Amino acid sequence: MTDVLKLEEQYAILSEAERSATPVRVLKHGDSFAVFDHHGDVIPAPASEHGLYHAGTRFLSRFELLLAARQPLLLSSTISEDNAVFTADLTNPDVITDGRVVVPRGLLHLYRSRVLANGAWIESLRVTNHALKRIEVPLSFRFDADFADIFEVRGMRRAERGQRLPDAAGPDALLSYRGLDGVERRTRVHARRAPDRQDDTSLSYVIALEPQASADIELAVS
Cβ atoms of 180 and 170 within 8 Å: the answer is no
pLDDT of residue 103: 76
Quick one: pLDDT band at residue 73, thresholds 50, 70, 90? very high
For residue 74, give the nearest of 131, 24, 27, 4 by alpha carbon. Answer: 24
Q: Give 155 or 188, the one with higher predicted confidence.
A: 188
pLDDT of residue 121: 92
* Domain architecture of the chain: domains with CATH: 4-221 (2.70.98.40)
pLDDT exceeds cutoff 70 at 13: no
Cβ atoms of 63 and 36 within 8 Å: the answer is yes
In Å, how far from its chain's centre is CA 12? 21
User: What does the pLDDT look like over 82-115, one tens digit per residue?
Assistant: 999 999 999 998 877 677 777 789 999 999 999 9
pLDDT exceeds cutoff 70 at 33: yes
**pTM given for the model:** 0.87
Quick one: pLDDT band at residue 22, thresholds 50, 70, 90? low
User: What does the pLDDT look like over 110-160, one tens digit per residue?
Assistant: 999 999 988 889 999 999 999 999 998 899 999 999 999 988 888 788 778
Q: Provide the b/e sequence for 87-120 (b: ≥16 CB within 10 Å).
A: bbebbbbbbeeeeeeebeeebbbbbbebbbeebb
pLDDT of residue 68: 83
